[in-house]
Amino acid sequence: MVPGRVYTADTETGHYTLTAVSFSGEPTDSLTAVSHAAAILRAKGAPTYDGYHALDGVPGWMMSVTTPEGRLNQSFILFIDQRLYIAEGSVAPGNPPPSNFQQSITVIDPAGERIQLNN
């Protein structure tokens, strides 16, 4: 088992999580880790968007899934420096999409500087 941590926040209209999993010291294939996380998120309902997306030049995966209860889940998955990050926002029907949550995330290095990878 690899160490991980889940951070959560709730508002009147939504539930937001950021999951961070450290694979340091573990033999890890980033594609497998991202694919596994995406499969878990897809299983929550019907995907309406499911595709590649880069955050600050870091390759990742973005998806929107509508749950059987009608909630909209929007997620972003990325793997960098032997760490898997999953940002997920979920809102009830009739509320604005939780996309601002994913758009507010920035990847920083240990010195606190924004990482900008060239594509």
Q: Is residue 19 part of a domain?
A: yes
Q: Is residue 27 part of a domain?
A: yes
The percentage of the chain sitting over the pLDDT mark of 90, rounded to a whole number, equals 58
Q: Is residue 99 part of a domain?
A: yes
Which residues, given as ranges, of the chain have pLDDT below 70? 1, 118-119
Considering only CA atoms, which of 46, 62, 45, 47 is closest in space to residue 102?
Answer: 62
Number of domains observed in the structure of the chain? 1
For residue 80, the surrounding DSSP H or E stretch is: strand 72-80
Query: pTM, whole model, 2 decimals?
Result: 0.88
Domain CATH number, residue 93: 3.40.1000.10
Q: Which domain holds residue 46?
A: 4-103
